[in-house]
Amino acid sequence: MKTLAHKQDSLLIVYDADTIQHPGTFLFDRGYWVKQGSVTGEAAGRGKALLLDTDFGQAVLRQYLRGGWAAKASRDQYVFSGFGNSRPMMEFAILEQLCEAGLPAPRPIAAMCAREGALYRGWILMRMIPEAQPLADLVGARRDDAELWREVGACIRRFHDHGLVHADLNARNILVGPDNGVHLIDFDRARLRKGDSRAFASNLKRLKRSLHKVWPEPDRQQLPWCWLRLQEGYDQPGAVS
């Protein structure tokens, strides 16, 4: 992956030059992709990220948006403290490191930080993980699949052993492919902190709370069994490959 930067006036774009030859703001423009007929859907979650089918393959475009009380002040603007400190640039850099390490995370394509005085807006464009579904959508049908739950645990362990602390490890930010291939997504505000066992334990607690929320009520008694299988995958020797 060859990462380059394109700076123009008050905006900065970083991009994978092996994928993008002519970077520009159009890459992050919803209207542009609609006109191209490239939009194939929207992903669930804050901001409803666009799913795209482009000349360079399937991709996901996400704008950085606020939630909760902060959205009342501004839905899509953040305080600017330097391009390198902006959320899109930081997430692009994290994703680049994770992919170079061979971890199952989306490959970044481009990110943009557009400064507007003391504030900025941000976007990120990433490779789509094909034929993958959120773990949250599978808990009912796959509650007896011990292999799946061990794979989920082993995947999380790989990221933790690399030092990755996820900012929001929930059942929607874990994707499962048709072959039980597990990926993590959404690395906004993630950080690398080797050996931070307290933060890693907090990640797992956050995931367990998330599973409680999405677990079908009639099958609630199966959740502890599934969590034990996940923990086995996380704890087993050789979880990191």
User: Annotated catalytic sites, by residue?
Assistant: 168
Residue labelled with tokens 């923990």: 231
Distance between CA atoms of 70 and 56, rounded to whole angstroms? Answer: 35
The first and second tokens of residue 205, run together, are 């607690």
Q: How many CB atoms lie within 10 A of CB 68?
A: 7
Q: Please, which residues have CB within 8 angstroms of residue 231's CB and are 6 or more apart in sequence?
A: 153
Distance between CA atoms of 87 and 155, rounded to whole angstroms? Answer: 24
Distance between CA atoms of 151 and 157, rounded to whole angstroms? Answer: 10
**87, containing H or E segment:** helix 87-100
